C-alpha cells in the first residue's frame, strides 16, 4: 500500500518519458539576435485553461517505496503549454508494462490517500493487451482533452485521470472528488465513456477509493455503472 500522500516528494529519473528537451543545433535566442524581427519580441498570447494541471509519471520498481516511483513531471495552465507537453511525450502504446501516466489538478497528488481524493472514487475502463496500439493513444488523448476542457457542470468534482499500462490489460480511469455527489459522478461518468469512445453496450464501472484501500483481495466492488 502506498504511503500517505503528504509524505510524497517528487523525485526520480524521468528520461523514460522521452521528452525531447534539447534545442536543435544552431538554434539561437531571439532576444540576443539584433536582426530578429520585432514581432518576436512581443509576448506570445496564450489561452488560459480553467485549472492548472500537473502531469505525473510512475514506473514500478519493487526495490523502492511506492511514492519514490512517482515523479512530478510538468505543470501547465494554458492550451499552448499542454500541446507542447503532449507533443514530446512518449506514446502510451509504446510504454512498457508497469508504467503509468496521470494528469491531476495542480496540488493534488495522484494517490487515493490525498485529502482531495480520499472521499472520492474512479470510473474505470479496462482494455486488453492486444489493444495496445493507436486506439490506446486516442483514449489517453481524449481523457486529457476532457480533463483540461473543464465541463462546467462537473469540473469542480473531477480531480484527474490515469492510464495504467500492464502486462495483461491497460486501465484508463477518471478520478472524482466526492463519491456522495452521485448525480455529478454519474454525469461525469457518462461523458467520460462517450469521450473515450467506449461502445454503449460495454459497462463502465465506478469504485470508491475507500473500498479499494480496504479490500484484501483483487476483487473490486463497483458502486455505480454507466
Label residue 152 exposed, middle or buried (CB < 10 Å: 0-12, 13-18, 19+).
exposed
Segment 164-211, tens digit of pLDDT? 999 888 999 999 999 999 999 999 999 999 999 888 888 899 999 988
Which residue in 60, 155, 72, 70 sits closest to 106, CA to CA?
A: 72
The residues pairing with 126 across neighbouring beta strands, listed in sequence order, are 171
Domain ranges of the chain: 120-226
User: What is the spatial distance between Cα 201 and Cα 199, in angstroms, rounded to a whole number?
Assistant: 5
In CATH terms, 120-226 corresponds, of 3.30.760.10, 3.30.565.10, 3.30.930.10, 3.20.20.60, to 3.30.760.10
- Mean per-residue pLDDT of the chain: 83
User: For the whole model, what pTM was predicted?
Assistant: 0.79
Segment 26-60, tens digit of pLDDT? 444 444 555 555 554 456 789 999 999 999 999 98
Q: How long a stretch of residues is the chain?
A: 226
pLDDT for residue 32: 53
* For the ranges 129-133, 142-146, 166-170, 211-215, the one whose mean pLDDT is highest: 142-146
Amino acid at each position: 500500500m502506498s504511503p500517505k500522500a503528504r509524505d510524497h516528494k517528487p523525485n526520480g529519473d524521468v528520461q523514460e518519458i522521452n521528452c525531447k528537451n534539447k534545442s536543435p543545433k544552431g538554434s539561437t535566442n531571439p532576444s540576443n539576435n539584433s536582426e530578429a524581427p520585432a514581432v518576436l519580441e512581443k509576448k506570445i498570447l496564450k489561452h488560459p485553461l480553467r485549472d492548472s494541471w500537473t502531469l505525473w509519471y510512475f514506473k514500478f520498481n519493487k526495490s523502492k517505496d511506492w511514492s519514490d516511483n512517482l515523479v512530478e513531471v510538468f505543470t501547465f495552465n494554458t492550451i499552448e503549454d499542454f500541446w507542447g507537453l503532449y507533443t514530446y511525450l512518449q506514446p502510451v502504446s509504446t510504454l512498457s508494462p508497469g508504467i503509468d501516466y496521470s494528469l491531476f489538478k495542480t496540488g493534488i497528488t495522484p494517490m487515493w490517500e490525498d485529502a482531495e481524493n480520499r472521499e472520492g472514487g474512479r470510473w474505470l475502463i479496462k482494455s486488453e493487451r492486444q489493444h495496445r496500439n493507436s486506439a490506446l493513444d486516442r483514449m489517453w488523448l481524449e481523457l486529457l482533452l476532457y480533463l483540461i476542457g473543464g465541463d462546467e457542470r462537473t469540473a469542480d468534482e473531477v480531480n484527474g485521470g490515469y492510464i495504467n499500462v500492464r502486462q495483461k490489460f491497460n486501465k484508463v480511469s477518471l478520478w472524482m472528488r466526492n463519491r456522495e455527489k452521485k448525480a455529478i459522478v454519474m454525469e461525469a461518468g457518462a461523458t467520460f465513456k462517450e469521450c473515450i469512445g467506449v461502445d454503449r453496450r460495454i459497462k463502465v464501472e465506478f469504485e470508491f477509493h475507500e473500498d479499494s484501500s480496504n479490500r484484501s483481495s483483487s476483487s473490486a466492488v463497483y458502486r455505480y455503472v454507466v
